[in-house]
Amino acid sequence: MKKLVDSFKFAFQGILYSFNTQRNIRIHFFIAIIVLILGIYVRLSHIEWILLLLTISIVVTSEMINTSIEKTIDLVTEEYKILAKIGKDVAAGAVLISSILSVIIGVLIFYNKIF
């Protein structure tokens, strides 16, 4: 049981570290809160809520994975290396793709409800 509790403790430490040190995660959380409030206001269907929550979790998760990759690369090398740059750029690209997709899904869900 202690190992399970420790696992949750470490996971929450990772979430807090990400939130406290990564500006983009704070931006994603802020936008997510606005979108969730808007979802309550326009009374989303169950399916729309599922899509919205999945989309938000994918963006935040990809941002946290990006942070993990960047920090691991920084641990391995402090000097400029092309492979380190590629690793960081690919991870950032994954965040960009998930963010763009979340905007598209958000527009598809909210457009007819607002306009």
Residues marked active site are found at: 63
CA 14/CA 36 separation, integer angstroms: 23
Q: Which residues are annotated as a binding site for a divalent metal cation?
A: 70
Question: Any idea how long the chain is?
Answer: 115
Residue 27 DSSP code: H
Residue 91, both tokens? 């991870």
- Cα 62 to its chain centre, rounded Å, is 5
